Structures are given as structure tokens and as C-alpha cells.
Amino acid sequence: MNSSHLTWLSKQIARNILRTWLEQKAKLSGAAFSCRVLKGTSSYNLAINSDMSVSCNCQDFDGAGRLGDLSINSLTEILSGEKAQYFRKTLAEGKLPLLNCTRCVELEMVASDQALEASKIIAVPHKNIMIENTILCGCNCLSCARPQVMRNRKKLALSLDDIGIIAEEIKRHGISSLAYFNLGDPFLSSSIYDELALIKKVNPHLSIYTSTNGLYLDSPAKFEAALLTDRIGISIDGIDSAMVRKYQRNGDFERSFGNMCRLVSYRNKQSQNKTEIMWNYILFNWNDKPKNIIQAQQLARQAGIDTLSLCHTKSPLWGTSWRWYTNKFYREIRKGQSSQFLAIPIV
């Protein structure tokens, strides 16, 4: 059994334990559950996947959270469909329909009567949705169940016709922002510029955020695509390739960091462009020493990016950054914040 299988198995065991605990806690307190995605108040998780399937969460590796198919039904029809209604009913009964519910930010534990009322609400999230334009990714991250998700996508990438359908749905529901990424790297699509340009043409006031490991952000055409967004996060989990590859196993610090620097330079030559460029740095117990973060800040200034974003994670559990909780360095830069994310402006 390889490390990916061990990571996946440990996550499943932990989530089963947590699901039992949460359900018992709800039962003992006379509470139940509701989901922000299913009642239309989510600001992140509703995901349109590379095969036009629609999932209620951004980590739907096995397809268990699949609500419908946007090439067949509209978002309104999907969110009022049989699967979504089953999820609402189950949550209102104090049960969690998916293991992913245990770690999802959209889950709410509320009084039973409130859960029942929430289960009657059918609405498309208007704040934000996600688009996975491609499932392809070459990074092979430690916690990514890539073989499983590849088996559960009928198509590897959205077509421009698919993008056109999605763009009209965004317009119809007045969705205000878009996360243009999910389980693949969006810049592995050769048509990413055309995709984003089409979405912006139909929705000129839409705010778009994308994320990439930076390996494929390697040409003027890709830079032009990136600069169609309001914000781009480049995920580099360390300050050298040896450190990066402990999680991003096919990662390459020099390549990703170099591409990030070139993107900044390209943007800065266009005086009117205001795209925010972020370095997303996931904290693990092998890359979280204060000296690592201080060096990352120095490199960020060298690159000329806008923000260094530190993200604390528990996946894999054995890689958890305990310094995030215990080290004075993190307490000081967080200034009392308990958020999973910490954005450090680079000045």
C-alpha cells in the first residue's frame, strides 16, 4: 500500500469517526444539520466539474456528492432534483449523507426546527460557484486521490460550448464571483484564455479567482489568461524543490517560482491591469519553521507579488503544522486570528 492509499484510508477512518461523533452530538442536543450550498447561501463550494456534472462540494473525488448534469438540466433543476432533496431530508433528520460533510465549511448544526425550514429552501448560490475547466494535473499531491477522480469524470475538460452554457447560467442567477479551479490545474487547458474571455463577455462584472501550481503558467498566452482574472493564487508549498516535493510530489520550485516572477513582470508592463498575484503556501510540519516563512517573505518581495497566503491544513493528518498552534511566531503574525488562512501583504 503506497502513501496515497494510506493517506486516503486514514482520512476515511477519521471522517467516519467524526461523522458518528457529529451525529451523536446533534442527537443529544436536539439539533440537526443544514447545508449552505443546498439553501443557496454558499460562497465557495458548488462545483461544476470537467464533465458538466455538478457537485455539492469541492472535494468530490468519488462522485458521491454529484447532484446532476448541467448539460442536461439547469442549475435550478439540479438543485431541486431528487439527489439534492435527499441530502436536505437526511441533514434535517440529523444525519450526514456524505463523509465529506464532516469537513465541509458549508455544514451547519442548527436547531431541529431550523434544519427543517432550511430543508425547504431551494436556491442557486448567488455569491460564488466553482468551475473545474479540466481535471488534468501533473503535480501528484500527497492528499489527491487522482486515480479515483479520473475514473469518476466522463470528460477530462470542458469544451467552449460547455463554457457558454455555464456563462449563461452565471448571468441568469446573478452570480457575483467565480472560483475558476477545482481538482485539476486550469492552465493545463490550451483554451483557457478563450474560456475566460467568453465568461467575461457574458458576465463583464463577474469577479474571477483562479489557482494553479504554476508549472504550466509558462507562456504569454497563459499570462494573458491569468490577467483576465481579478486574483490568481500560485501554490508553492516550500522554499526549494526538496521541500515542495514532500507534498507536491512532481513539483518544481524553480519552475513554478520562475513562472510566478515572469507573470508579475508581464502584469507590471500593463499599467492598467490590477490582477492580484498571490503565493499560496500550505503549511506542513516540514516547511513551517519561522525561518522558512521569513525566507518565503523575502522571496515574495523579490518576486514582486502582492500577497503571501499561509494556509494551515490537516491533510495528511501526520503532516499537520503544530507550530501553527504553539509557536510564538505564528501567534504574533496572526494577531489573534484563528482562520485557516493568513494573508500577509508584501510591501
Q: What integer is the mean pLDDT of 69-82?
A: 97
Whole-number Å distance between alpha carbons of 284 and 278: 19
pLDDT above 70: residue 5: no
Q: What integer is the mean pLDDT of 233-244?
A: 98
Q: What is the pLDDT of residue 31?
A: 96
Where residue 36 falls among pLDDT bands split at 50, 70, 90? very high
**Strand 66-69 to strand 53-55: parallel, antiparallel, or no bridges (unpaired)?**
antiparallel
Q: What is the pLDDT of residue 129?
A: 97
CA atoms within 13 A on the CB side of 209: 16
Mean pLDDT (the chain, rounded): 93
What the block records as the C-alpha cell of 210 is 483562479
Q: What integer is the mean pLDDT of 57-80?
A: 96
With CA atoms as reference, report the closest residue to 55 among 146, 193, 149: 149
pTM of the model: 0.93
What the block records as the C-alpha cell of 320 is 499537520
127-146 residues labelled b (16+ CB within 10 A) or e (exposed): ebbbbbbbbbbebebbbbbb
Identity of the amino acid at 117 = E
Q: Which of 159-163, 235-239, 251-255, 336-340 has the lowest mean pLDDT?
A: 336-340
Where residue 14 falls among pLDDT bands split at 50, 70, 90? confident
Where residue 338 falls among pLDDT bands split at 50, 70, 90? low
Q: What integer is the mean pLDDT of 196-206?
A: 98
pLDDT above 90: residue 336: no
Q: What integer is the mean pLDDT of 294-317?
A: 94
User: Highest-confidence range of 9-13, 251-255, 315-319, 341-345, by mean pLDDT?
Assistant: 251-255
Q: What is the DSSP letter of 97?
A: S
pLDDT by residue (tens digit) across 120-167?
Answer: 999 999 999 999 999 999 999 988 888 889 999 999 999 999 999 999
Q: Report the 10 Å Cβ neighbour count for 250.
A: 13
Q: What integer is the mean pLDDT of 55-76?
A: 96
pLDDT above 80: residue 249: yes
pLDDT by residue (tens digit) across 87-126?
Answer: 999 999 999 999 999 989 999 999 999 999 999 999 999 9
